[in-house]
Amino acid sequence: MTATLDLTKDLISRPSVTPEDFGCQQLLADRLSAIGFTIEHLRFGQENNWTDNIWARRGNEGPVFAFAGHTDVVPTGPEENWTSPPFEPVIRDGLLYGRGTADMKGSIAAMVTACERFVAEHPSHDGSIAFLITSDEEGPATGGTIKVIETLEARNEKIDWCLVGEPSSTSKVGDVVKNGRRGSMNGYLTVKGKQGHIAYPHLAENPIHLLTPALTELCSIEWDQGNNDFPPTSFQVSNLNSGTGVTNVIPGIAEVIFNFRYSTEVTHQQLQQWVKKILDNHNFNYDLRWELSGKPFRTANGALVDAVKQAIKSTTGYDTELSTSGGTSDGRFIAPTGAQVVELGPLNATIHQIDECVAVADLDTLSEIYETLLVQLLTK
């Protein structure tokens, strides 16, 4: 059993379903403090709704290289559908099974063991190494990384380079690195009609009928064509609700939740204006509320991206691909501070699924890539 595998299994055995941490962060704090990290436990929220975070730092000088990640995991789903219990790590055919193996306790374990080896070899390294770990990434993400960043910004403590351990890889570990993400914005639309008996439609106003042409138009629009760094903006409906549950009542309201994943070709303000114009053109009564989850960001070629490419090449022998596809990550809270941000972790094929797993060999490969990256950035 390697050190990275051992730590991954220890983390998986703790049922840290978001926003719970179940001692994962204290385990990490103990390992990091033993090699010279100063640990800050940062708790945000209120009674019965706390989010636990740690900010750990080794060194007082810049540049600051930070590993970022989350100890919380998504719910398991029906545990009887798992081949083995989700919080009892099991190895079968070279794969480690358990909730959080890929997203993202394996990455966190690899970060820690990479630091342990690096510090042992380079105790007087350049700059600083930091860890930003939260238990609120898989949930609403309101008391986690965003709050830690606010705390750091308030005292003018800056991250220069940040590696988020999200599972970025597709076919083999390190084949894809995320150097940016699309923006994400939710819309909450309520269309107001008039409830009535379904046999007397002239005395009612059906909000579903009012909504349908507008929704069809929204679904058919090409918002932009994307660019070299981002795919085209996507509009998707995630929830559509109406009706009273019976067959003879025209409902009074229809509710829609939709999402934009948008490129740098548009702004969230432009999207909001275009949607409002379309809805107004259809001449019905509605309320619309917006929720901006994160603006698009991209880290251009530079010290961090170049070092990541080199670390992957020297460790695995192959070249990596830069990508901005996929969902959001906590990188959206870190990039606006001016930090260079990339995401590099294990394969994402089984994340959030029943029987989530990661290749045991990939854990050691990932740890070696992380260590090589530290050598390239923080040694002369």
Spatial CA neighbour of 12 closest among 110, 105, 102? 105
Q: Name the catalytic one among 103, 137, 205, 371.
A: 137
Instruction: List 53's β-bridge partners, or say none.
Output: 42, 134
298 vs 38: CA distance, rounded Å = 30
Residue 52 is among the residues annotated as catalytic for this protein:
no
Residue 138 is among the residues annotated as catalytic for this protein:
no
Q: Name the catalytic one among 21, 52, 72, 138.
A: 72
Angle of helix 24-33 relative to helix 106-121, nearest 10 degrees? 10
Structure tokens at 94: 């070279």
Residues 183, 225, 303: CA angle, nearest 5 degrees: 55
Q: If residue 218 lies in a helix (H) or strand (E), which one and from where to where?
A: helix 207-220
107: left (phi over 0), alpha (psi -120 to 50) or beta: alpha
Beta strands in 152-214 (DSSP E): 161-164, 176-178, 180-181, 183-192, 196-197
Q: If residue 49 lies in a helix (H) or strand (E), which one and from where to where?
A: strand 49-58
> Given the structure tokens 């040694």, which residue do they identify?
379
Q: Catalytic positions, please? A: 72, 137
